[in-house]
Structures are given as structure tokens and as C-alpha cells.
Amino acid sequence: MAYKLLFVCLGNICRSPSAENIMNHLIAENNLSDRIICDSAGTSSYHIGSPPDRRMNAAASKKLGIQLRGRARQFEISDFRDFDLILAMDRENYQNILYLDSTGQYQDKVRLMCDFCSRYSFTEVPDPYYGGVEGFNQVIDLLVDACEGLLEHINNQKSLH
């Protein structure tokens, strides 16, 4: 049975699809594609059906040589049941996700993405949407760090190799 990860930000066009695609890239590099499955969602409905932001895609392409795939969707209550770990990009996303878990039974599944960073001391992944190119590049670097730490965490928990 595959371990399922869900990355969540506000609109699901910048941070969470980047995290999903970076994680998929690392998973493929480590031959774990049959063991870990990734998806992403947004807490809002602003961009449902939209592809990842072109500026985010440019940063991922330039820094990592990857194309961001996927279409924005909104976080759903069923995601609590369907995923093993839900990773919020910032505290507001985290609170919005937990708000939907009225019984509190899934709160152990929800974590902040930056909890898995080892090189950066950020506590949240900043939203680059209204910023310049450097903000998008910074988000890619931060997410690579967090995804590497997350993969190590899952490996330690699940002994995937």
C-alpha cells in the first residue's frame, strides 16, 4: 500500500503544486514511485482547474529542470481519510485545514511543510504570488530542502527501501 502525501496552500497554483512536483522528482530519483503518491490542493476555490503559475514553473524549470504538472483543486473533507500526511505551506493553511476537521480525529496527519527543513530556518513557505522572480526562486529552494527532509522522515518511519 502506497504512502500518500497531500501538499496544501491557498490557491494550489504556486507552492503546493511545486512541492508535489519536487517531491515526485525526488521520489522518482530514489525509485520509490510505487511506494509514495503525491497530490496537492488549495484551501480556496480561486483557481480550480488552473495549471501551476507560469512564474513558478519558470523557477522550477530553471533551478531543477522540471516542469510543474497538475491542475488546481480545492481541499476536500475526504482528503483527511485518503491521505497519510497533509502538509500545509503556512500557518493560515494549517488552521484552515484543521478547521475542517471538526472532530479533531485527523489533526495528527496535518503538519507544516517547513517542519521538515534542515538548511532553512523558515517556519512557513512564503506565498510568492504578488512578489518578484526572487520570491519564486526562494520558494523552490525552500521546498527542495523540505521535500528532502520529508522523504528522509518517511523513509525512517516506513523503511521504504
Is 9 an active-site residue? yes
Q: Which of 15, 53, 55, 145 is catalytic?
A: 15
Is 127 an active-site residue? yes
Over its length of 161 residues, how does the chain's per-residue pLDDT go in tens digits? 899 999 999 999 999 999 999 999 999 999 999 999 999 999 999 999 999 999 999 999 999 999 999 999 999 999 999 999 999 999 999 999 999 999 999 999 999 999 999 999 999 999 999 989 999 999 999 999 999 999 999 999 877 65
State the DSSP string of 131-143: S-HHHHHHHHHHH
* Residues β-bridged to residue 42: 9, 74
Q: Which of 9, 14, 117, 147 is catalytic?
A: 9
Is 84 an active-site residue? no
Q: What's the distance, CA 37 to chain centroid?
A: 12
Q: Which of 39, 79, 127, 145 is catalytic?
A: 127
Contact yes or no for 42/16 (Cβ under 8 A):
yes
- Report which secondary-structure segment, H or E, holds 159: none
DSSP annotation of 114 reads G
Instruction: At 157, list the grid cell.
Output: 518511519
Give the integer Cα–Cα distance in Å for 131 and 146: 21
